[in-house]
Amino acid sequence: MVAAEQENGSSVAMAAGNMNSKAQLVSVKRGEPSLVAPAEPTPTGEHYYLSNLDQNIAVIVQTVYCFKCPPSGRGHEAGAADALRDALSRVLVHYHPLAGRLAISPEMKLAVDCTGEGVVFVEADAACDLADMGDLSTTPDPAALGQLVYSIPGAKNILQMPPITAQVTRFKCGGFSLGLAMNHCMFDGLGAMEFVNSWAEMARGATELTVPPYLDRAAVLRARDPPLISFPHREFEEIPDVSGMAALYGDQDLTYRSFCFGPDRLERVRGLAQSQAQASFTTFEALSGLVWRARTAALGLAPEQQTKLLFAVDARRRLSPPLPRGYFGNGIVLTNALATAGDLLASPVSSAAAMVQDAVRMVTDEYVRSAVDYFEATRARPSLASTLLITTWSRLAFDGADFGWGQPAMSGPVTLPEKEVILFLAHGQERKSINVLLGLPASAMDAFQELMDEI
């Protein structure tokens, strides 16, 4: 079952059978994939450097942007796919590593082989209207939305997948969608947003980019020689599962729900945390603390179970000097908070919020440099065992991607990349609400729902 949480706290449930019906309704027919190469010659025959902050998050992130057919009728009949393909070839001149392929460098790290062969581009047709897709931000349906994004058939690892694929899907109503599958090692959310907005600028006829990409990652984020590890970096710590979570996730299907926190509800959460501690917390700190506690309770973790919270902090302005404007790459670093389930649940929300706040404050220039050096010395990757990873897109203006047809009618992720991930998404025209999207085993989701109803 899938449910969408509405702002008044009520749930709209969608049974698995309805999900399958929706996927069948979409029924996308794809054409043959083609390659879109840069419109002008770009550097080839070299390895493009990926920093140690890029190495740890080489996962595919799928997003969809949906555009209605405008009143003028300038929909897919006017060649939206051709316009997007042409603009893509021109923006790739600036973002040329995206036209290459992932490889392993002589240092045994991920790098980009600058082949210049291009982005995989697919045109498709859906047997339904755009309205039949529902609201992407409140009703997650990976089976249906997955048809709007192209995945390489038979690919067994990321080296067999290009850094980005693009699919333009035409709907019967005249609207269309742009589905992107992008490897996170190429950029973080802000970098991806700047790329998509630059592509949109080209589609609207621009000859220069408002924010040109800064490509030289090696100049600003190389490890120190020798590496200097000055923090414990418990984000990499492997936590034993003493609560039988592997069995729980193995026995039950994942249920996805989206819980909407409007401005009043967010203020209640923040006020609750602040009143308990007589301290000041940001909305992110209070909401993260609340969700961490609620998920821990819903999963029924043993009191002695160590639980870890991970989340990314934008380090661009925390580095000294700051990363250059338009930095093309991951400018985020993972930070962490740890507690036993018993201690977390025996303490108020303010205690969890304070741990989140401490984790945010821990991220300084030295912390980021230490994290870069830690990977250089250990090649370790963050462990997700007994972990909640919160990813926030609430400050990313993906709805600003105007390719010439106005802003997207809706946009959002196709699915969550890992079962341990919770996503914070901006919601509403003024972007003052936050949708909390997560997946849990069915029994745990029912318990989580009850806890959210109390807010």
Q: Point out the residues that are catalytic.
A: 184, 402
How do strand 433-441 and strand 11-14 relate by DSSP bridges?
unpaired
Question: Rounded to whole angstroms, what are the CA distances from 398 to 54, 64, 193, 354?
Answer: 21, 10, 6, 30
Beta bridge pairs of residue 424:
392, 436
CB-based contact 130:64 (threshold 8 Å)? no
SS3 448: helix
Instruction: Tell me the two tokens of residue 26.
Output: 């979409």
Instruction: Tell me the two tokens of residue 409.
Output: 């009618």
Query: Looking at this protein, which amino acid is placed at residue 226?
Result: P
CB-based contact 111:105 (threshold 8 Å)? yes
What DSSP string describes 308-330? EEEEEEE-TTTSSSPPPTTB-S-
In the numeric block, the tokens 């796919």 are attached to 81
SS3 97: helix
SS3 51: coil
159 half-sphere exposure, CB direction, 13 A CA radius: 7
The residues, ordered by sequence, that sit 6+ positions from 210 with a Cβ below 8 Å of its Cβ are: 197, 198, 201
What is the Cα–Cα distance from 428 to 227, expressed in whole angstroms? 45
Question: Rounded to whole angstroms, what are the CA distances from 27 to 171, 316, 328, 388, 412?
Answer: 11, 42, 36, 34, 20
